[in-house]
A and B are shown apart, each in its own frame.
Chain A
Amino acid sequence: MAERIAIVGVGQTHHKSKRPDVTTAEMCAEAVERCLEDAQMSMKDIDNIIMGSFEVADGYYSPDKWIIPELGAVGKSGLEMQNVGTTGGVVAATGFNIAATGLFDAVLCLAWQKMDEAAGAFGRGGGGTNEYWTGQFPMSPITNFARRAYAYMDRSGCTEEHFAMVRVKQDQCAMKNEYAQLKLGLTLEQVMNDALLAWPIRRLHMCPTTAGAAACIVCPEEKAKKVTNKPVWVEDWFTCHQGGSLTMAEDPTSSTLAYASHLVYKRNGITNPPKDIQAWEVYEPASPAELRWIEEVGLCEDYTAWKLFEQNKVGIDKEIPFNPSGGVTATNPIGATPVVRLVEAVLQVRGDAGEHQIPGTINRALATGYGGQGENVIMLLRKTL
């Protein structure tokens, strides 16, 4: 029988486009120091560490060799993982799995990305790093989301202006988040007239390159209750991998998000997502993706999410509190981004999100990680068991 598990502490760096003042390891230590402080624990209390980044976008391999010493964590059990954008998601999911064995008291999940050192490498992320059949074409996040966004327009009837509405909402949320990177005070006109990358994707629609790290500490029930009076329970989690040519033929607008989220809903008795879940932190690498993601997680019918933006129903204090942190188009330390989503969801459940706190009680929150062309990690949190 698996242990019930809870997150007892979270921490993240102030995300920036460049962090020349720290090494990758020092940046990770910054997030870990904040996480330990939040949990009121010390490194001595941690007995397992799960860590990772999207290695290609960092330019290093096996960075655990020098990050673990920087964390004062030599000799502790653990794993290093990497899985492109979902890295933080598989880091967290693995941390949950390990905590649920009850073999360890406190599992530290750490993810990071320092793109100021290797952003050029990620530009080729769809190239040499991918399956040969798609890798030889410019299947970067930009072109992939352009392809998907146009297919979405074609099917839904929405216009470029709706994508701009999404971007402005994302920015309005980020403006209230002290950890967010891009806080631009955008207008619809600015987004509509921004530089075109691959129609209909404009520069402002895409996630930025970010240097940042995020961490959380997961404990089995008994330990969690000793450590904090505000544990956030991890109700369920699920990782789903897909990509390549099969994904492209099926539904060009879609990912595995609908499948993965509804699987988790089903096994936790969630029948009405907009009512049963009060906070959403969903990994949306491009503004147009947010529309389809809102539909895939079950907040409205397929191809209608753009109408919610037209009706001004999405925002921190609105009917659909989707990505109150500002999300991924404001901040994207790729490998760390799913853990940033998780950290933000934990803060929402605890009521500690500050200026971007969703009003009212948050009983359940959903955080996700996204990567490649269709991978998703679902992390479902709960205030009380």
Chain B
Amino acid sequence: MTQNLPEIPDTLVNVDVIGYSNFLVNTGATGTKFLKEIRDNKKIMGIKCPSCGKVYVPPRLHCPTCFARMSEWVKLSGKGSLTSYTVVRYEEPYLPKQPPFAYGIIQMDSADTGMAHFLGEVDLDKIKIGMRLEPVFKEEREGSILDIDYFKPSS
């Protein structure tokens, strides 16, 4: 097949276009309770499915397995285990922290799900899957998942 392609000039014109505005995120009644417990009481709460008994952290309104509405809150110790992690060593403008830094998935004791967060007060070369962790809360808390500063190794 022969295509009549336009002649490509040496320099092509590209135009910067203004992007979108910021977004608000509604955490809803369930997410709000979770965040307020962190902000006001430094407590991490789970929510339990009335049908299958699984405990979700962070919480959600419906059980992903049963589509049952959940409303039973479970107090957790805050301690948990690292199920997987990565150490970020490259730089990009959108990264939340100056590299190198580590984040991982933490499974809270008594919970069935994993929660993403940063790892801190830890030698980045000595992080191990399965290591025990506990949360470190920020002094100034505003109702955000980042009110937990990071998780550190727990004795």
Smallest CB separation, A357 vs chain B (Å): 31
Q: Residue B8 at the A interface, CB < 8 A?
A: no
- With beta carbons under 8 angstroms apart, the residue of B18, B29, B60, B65 that contacts A124 is B18
Q: Known contacts being A120-B21, A128-B18, is A70 close to B29, with CB within 8 Å? A: no
Smallest CB separation, A212 vs chain B (Å): 13
- From A18-26, A304-312, A367-375, give the one contacting chain B: A18-26
Assembly CA distance A43 to B31 (angstroms): 24
B1-48 residues at the A interface, CB under 8 angstroms: 15, 17-31
**B31 touching A123 by the CB < 8 A rule?**
no
Q: Which residues of B contact A20 (CB under 8 A)?
A: 26, 28
Q: Residue B82 at the A interface, CB < 8 A?
A: no
Assembly CA distance A128 to B67 (angstroms): 38
Assembly CA distance A118 to B31 (angstroms): 18
Q: Residue B95 at the A interface, CB < 8 A?
A: no
Assembly CA distance A70 to B69 (angstroms): 10
**B18 touching A59 by the CB < 8 A rule?**
no
**A70 touching B60 by the CB < 8 A rule?**
yes
A291-328 residues at the B interface, CB under 8 angstroms: none
Q: Which residues of B contact A136 (CB under 8 A)?
A: 17
Q: Residue B64 at the A interface, CB < 8 A?
A: yes
Q: Residue A114 at the B interface, CB < 8 A?
A: yes
A56-105 residues at the B interface, CB under 8 angstroms: 56, 59, 68-74
**B26 touching A116 by the CB < 8 A rule?**
yes
Assembly CA distance A70 to B31 (angstroms): 13
**A19 touching B26 by the CB < 8 A rule?**
yes
Q: Which residues of B contact A135 (CB under 8 A)?
A: 17
Number of A-B contacts (CB under 8 A): 82
**A73 touching B67 by the CB < 8 A rule?**
yes
Q: Residue A244 at the B interface, CB < 8 A?
A: no
Smallest CB separation, A176 vs chain B (Å): 29
B61-75 residues at the A interface, CB under 8 angstroms: 61-68
Smallest CB separation, B128 vs chain A (Å): 29
Q: Residue A274 at the B interface, CB < 8 A?
A: no
Q: Known contacts being A72-B66, A73-B67, is A123 close to B21, with CB within 8 Å? A: yes
Q: Known contacts being A121-B21, A124-B21, A128-B20, is A23 close to B64, with CB within 8 Å? A: no
Q: Which residues of A contact B31 (CB under 8 A)?
A: 23
Q: Which residues of A contact B24 (CB under 8 A)?
A: 116-118
Assembly CA distance A21 to B29 (angstroms): 5
Q: Known contacts being A56-B20, A127-B17, is A72 close to B27, with CB within 8 Å? A: no
Smallest CB separation, B20 vs chain A (Å): 4
**B61 touching A72 by the CB < 8 A rule?**
no
**B18 touching A22 by the CB < 8 A rule?**
no
| 0/1 string, A314-358, CB within 8 A of B gives 1 | 000000000000000000000000000000000000000000000
Smallest CB separation, B60 vs chain A (Å): 6
Q: Which residues of B contact A73 (CB under 8 A)?
A: 67
- With beta carbons under 8 angstroms apart, the residue of B20, B21, B29, B62 that contacts A72 is B62
Q: Which residues of B contact A116 (CB under 8 A)?
A: 24, 26
**B20 touching A124 by the CB < 8 A rule?**
yes
Q: Residue A289 at the B interface, CB < 8 A?
A: no
**A70 touching B64 by the CB < 8 A rule?**
yes
Assembly CA distance A152 to B31 (angstroms): 48
Q: Known contacts being A128-B18, A132-B15, is A22 close to B67, with CB within 8 Å? A: no
A9-54 residues at the B interface, CB under 8 angstroms: 19-26, 29, 42-43
Assembly CA distance A202 to B148 (angstroms): 47
**B26 touching A114 by the CB < 8 A rule?**
yes
Q: Which residues of A contact B22 (CB under 8 A)?
A: 120
In chain B, what residue has the closest Cβ to A56?
Answer: B20
Q: Which residues of A contact B30 (CB under 8 A)?
A: 23, 26
**B61 touching A118 by the CB < 8 A rule?**
no
Q: Which residues of B contact A23 (CB under 8 A)?
A: 26-28, 30-31, 61
- With beta carbons under 8 angstroms apart, the residue of A42, A74, A114, A128 that contacts B17 is A128
Q: Which residues of A contact B25 (CB under 8 A)?
A: 59, 117
Q: Known contacts being A21-B28, A22-B28, A26-B30, is A128 close to B19, with CB within 8 Å? A: yes
Q: Which residues of A contact B68 (CB under 8 A)?
A: 72
Q: Which residues of A contact B65 (CB under 8 A)?
A: 72, 74
In chain B, what residue has the closest Cβ to A21?
Answer: B29
**B64 touching A29 by the CB < 8 A rule?**
no
Assembly CA distance A139 to B64 (angstroms): 41
Q: Which residues of A contact B19 (CB under 8 A)?
A: 128
A-B contact pairs, 10 of them (CB 8 A): A20-B28, A21-B29, A23-B27, A23-B30, A29-B62, A29-B67, A116-B24, A121-B21, A127-B17, A132-B15
7 closest Cβ pairs, A-B complex: A72-B67, A59-B23, A69-B64, A120-B21, A128-B17, A121-B20, A23-B28
